[in-house]
Amino acid sequence: MATLVSHPDEVKLLSSRFGKGATSIDKYIELDGYTAVRKAIELGPEGIIAEMKASNLRGRGGAGFPTGMKWSFVPKQSAKPKYVLVNGDESEPGTCKDRLIFEHDPHSVIEGVIIAGLAIGSRMGFIYLRGEYRYLLTIMEKAIEDAYAKGFLGKGIFGSNIDFDIISHTGAGAYEVGEESALMESLEGKRGIPRIRPPFPAVVGLYGGPTIINNAETLATVPHIFRIGAAEYAKIGTERNGGTRLFALSGDVAKPGVYELPMGYNLKKMIYEVGGGIPNGRSLKAVVPGGASCPALLPTEIDIGMDFDQVAKAGSMLGSGGVVVVDDTVCMVEFALRTMKFYAHESCGWCIPCREGTDWLKKTLTRFHAGAGVAKDIDNIRYLAQNMLGRTFCPLGDAAAMPTIAFVDKFRKEFEDHLDGKPCPYAHQPEAALAGV
Amino acid sequence: MSTESKTIFSPALAARFDRLVTLYPLRRSALIPMLLYAQDEVGYLSDAVIGEIAARIEITELEVRNVISYYSLLHTKPGGKYHVQVCTNISCMLRGGNELLAHCKQRLGIGNKETTADKVFSLEEVECIGACSWAPAVQVNYDFHENLTPELMDRVLEDYRAKS
């Protein structure tokens, strides 16, 4: 459904089967599918984890935690069953990459889940898709059914003595469920309220058993690592940031789309060459480099490599790889307000700093943008956000606070221009539409 | 509860639910998918739907309602046959999501979270639906419509109107 794009700088691993009919299991096999899992069976748990560590693959959900290390935290012996859980709740504004994986290459996710299961000695995996992705659930269900029919799932997979089952599962609309502990709660049929940690999911997770939770892109990458070899895979990226990543370019850019580029690819080049620059003769005002929770970068700050370490050094985060490009016609107060409206809507309400903080920030920003702001509001917005940081049960509070602090610090003049009863001086959209009358 | 018992669902859905509750290590794991599938068939989560699902999962109706209120796709009131969900989150906003929402309100003559008098359309401003690179985007029930303009939106609405 979603349109595919292409650029010569792309290195196509994850996207190598996009548009080639690989939802069919026979096509997937023809395109080198289900070869990685056979290698993994031969390697055994320790061999798999060693390869994963050598690949320098880091989690594609946002935090960038080394995947091999995450898997190694699962205890070898466990009284309770162990589980693999795929996070396909893709809901971070600016992010639409997992959708393409499920749509075009569902078997790569299945293969990744089996390999993860082999690594930790699990017999069951779950693929959790956000409720809005119904057509992808249908694709995933068919793929799982076909894998059972071939003997790749079920009893004695690939002729081994190992059993493995996969269940696909739908959510019903909740950003917060993308947080790993809330995801487990949701899969257990409850409200998506985060759990206190420790214990971490690797020790006490789903149904109380040791669980590894990985983003869909992370697990879809795994078969490619075993197919080409961990050393080859690591070589594609930068130091401690192995491989490629699906970057979703959106916003004020000439050629939006999902592009697979090596980790460390230059952000400026990504916007101006891969994305074709800023359309309509406008110029760049800001870039949100990794989804809505990542602090915006100024045009002077984008000559950086897009890997976890370099973006962190620039004061932001690589996040989920959703690159949102903002041109000079946009009011950054309105942008900050829309971002906060989202977090206030999605806060689960469990802990006070997040529930109250996002709501007060939304109210203050709404009033401020409408022209009823006073000078002290600007510092108050920053102060409120600052006081949420690190004081919430889960990272949603931080995700709301971090971009807000950056909006105030980097676009203070735009805030000041809204003072003294002035209507939004940057308005290019009717206020009525924003207020949602 | 088995398919032979009294059910308000179609035989196919009742059979699906019979299987679903046995699939997971914990019966309750089937709750959220069941609520969504029931809503797809019945149109909304009526008292009768909630009652039967609570019985099937073997939890109280209160626990079911507690879960429903958390998830934004689950509704306890009927909407239109076609639920028009307009994304206005950042990527869509930058490419005209707000204008698209205003246009839908004007065309359908209803506000956010309202239903047309003939019950054909309901409208909702929604958060990111995962169509950022193809913005602005709208979901009508589960179908995505992307790279929209007000003119293209009119065509989308006309197509659904013709089907209704």
A246 closest CA partner among A257, A230, A231: A257
ipTM: 0.96
pLDDT > 90: percent of chain A: 95
Q: Look over chain A and give the mean of its residue pLDDT values, rounded to a whole number.
A: 95
Interface contact A93-B125, CB threshold 8 A: no
| Confidence band for A431, pLDDT divided at 50, 70 and 90 | very low
Secondary structure of residue A260 in the 3-state scheme: strand
How far does A230 lie from chain B, in Å, by closest CA?
31
pLDDT of residue A55: 98
CA distance B82 to chain A (A): 15
- Closest partner residue to A252 (CB to CB) among B31, B94, B127 is B94
Contact B102 A432 (CB under 8 A): yes
- Per DSSP, the three-state class of A154 is strand
For residue A64, name the pLDDT band (cuts at 50, 70, 90): very high
Three-state DSSP string of B107-155: HHCCCCCEECCCCCEEEEEECCCCCHHHCCCEEECCEEECCCCHHHHHH
Question: What pTM was estimated for this model as a whole?
Answer: 0.96
Cβ distance of A96 and B134 shorter than 8 Å: yes
Cα–Cα distance, A259 to A203 (Å, whole number): 36
**pLDDT tens for residues A243-259?**
999 999 999 999 999 99
A70-109 pLDDT per residue, tens: 999 999 999 999 999 999 999 999 999 999 999 999 999 9
Taken in order A434, B153, B124, B161, is the CA torsion positive or negative? positive
pLDDT at A435: 44
Give A369-393 pLDDT, tens digit per residue: 999 999 999 999 999 999 999 999 9
Question: A244-327 has which CATH code?
Answer: 3.10.20.600
What is the rounded radius of gyration, in angstroms, for the C-alpha atoms of chain B? 18
| Number of Cβ pairs < 8 A linking chain A and chain B | 166
pLDDT confidence of residue B71: 98
Mutate which of B132, B145, B147, B156 to test chain A, going by most A C-beta atoms within 10 A? B132
DSSP classification of residue A372: I
What is residue A136's DSSP assignment?
H
Residues of A in contact with B111 (CB under 8 A): 437
Tell me the shortest Cα–Cα distance from A165 to chain B, in angstroms: 11
At A178-215, the pLDDT tens digits run 999 999 999 999 999 999 999 999 999 999 999 999 99
List per-residue pLDDT tens for chain B, 164 residues long.
544 568 999 999 999 999 999 999 999 999 999 999 999 999 999 999 999 999 999 999 999 999 999 999 999 999 999 999 999 999 999 999 999 999 999 999 999 999 999 999 999 999 999 999 999 999 999 999 999 999 999 999 999 999 99
Considering only CB atoms, B101 lies closest to which of A172, A188, A433, namely A433
Residue B78 Cα, gap to closest chain A Cα (Å): 17
Strand order in the sheet with B143-145: B114-115, B121-126, B82-87, B138-140, B143-145
Q: Which of B73, B128, B134 to mutate to test the interface with A (most CBs of A within 10 A)?
A: B128
pLDDT at position A427: 67
Which of A95, A170, A250 minimises the CB distance to B135?
A: A250
Q: Which residues of B touch A179 (CB under 8 A)?
A: none
Query: Of B39, B119, B123, whose CA–CA distance to B88 is shortest?
Result: B123
Q: What is the pLDDT of residues A119-130, one digit of tens each?
A: 999 999 999 999
Domain ranges for chain A, please list them: 25-236, 244-327, 332-435
Domains of chain B by residue range: 11-68, 82-163
Minimal CA separation from B94 to chain A, in Å = 5
A330 touches chain B (CB under 8 A): yes
The beta-carbon neighbor of A93 closest among B57, B66, B89 is B89
Q: Are A93 and B128 an interchain contact pair (Cβ–Cβ within 8 Å)?
A: yes
Using a CB–CB cutoff of 8 Å, tell me whether A138 touches chain B.
no
Fold of A332-435: de novo design (two linked rop proteins) (1.20.1440)
Both structure tokens of A63: 């935090």
A-chain residues near B24 (CB < 8 A)? 167
Q: Given this model, what pLDDT does residue A3 score?
A: 87
Check whether A42 has a pLDDT greater than 80: yes
Q: Chain B: residue nearest A255 by CA? A: B133
Mutate to test the interface with B, among A89, A96, A103, A334 (most CBs of B within 10 A): A96
**CATH homologous superfamily, domain A25-236:** NADH-ubiquinone oxidoreductase 51kDa subunit (3.40.50.11540)
CB A247 within 8 A of CB A289: no
Q: What is the pLDDT of residues A107-164, one digit of tens each?
A: 999 999 999 999 999 999 999 999 999 999 999 999 999 999 999 999 999 999 999 9
Apex A201 CA angle, A198 and A204, nearest 5? 80
**Among candidates A94, A172, A325 on the partner chain, residue whose Cβ is nearest the Cβ of B32:** A172
Predicted local confidence at residue A432, as pLDDT: 41
User: Which position has the token pair 């101006």?
Assistant: A272
> In chain A, whose CA is at the least distance from the CA of B39?
A172
Confidence of residue A436 (pLDDT cuts 50, 70, 90): very low
Closest CA to A291 of A132, A91, A66: A91
Return d(Cα A59, Cα A2) in angstroms, integer.
24
B82-163 sits in which CATH class? alpha beta
CB contact under 8 Å between B71 and A252, yes or no, is no
Phi, psi of A259 (to 5 degrees): -120, 135
Locate the chain B residue with the closest alpha carbon to A182.
B70
Closest chain B residue to the Cα of A2, Cα to Cα = B134
Test A433 with B127 for CB contact under 8 angstroms: no
Interchain contact, A173 vs B74, CB within 8 Å: yes
Cβ neighbour number for residue B83 with a 10 Å cutoff: 19
Model confidence band, residue A434 (pLDDT cutoffs 50, 70, 90): very low
For A261-269, what is the mean pLDDT? Answer: 98
Q: Would an 8 Å CB–CB cutoff place A429 in contact with chain B?
A: yes
**Chain B residue nearest residue A93, CA to CA:** B128
A167: which chain B residues are within 8 Å (Cβ-Cβ)?
A: 23-24
Please give the Cα distance from A183 to A89 (Å, whole number).
Answer: 8
pLDDT at B5: 65
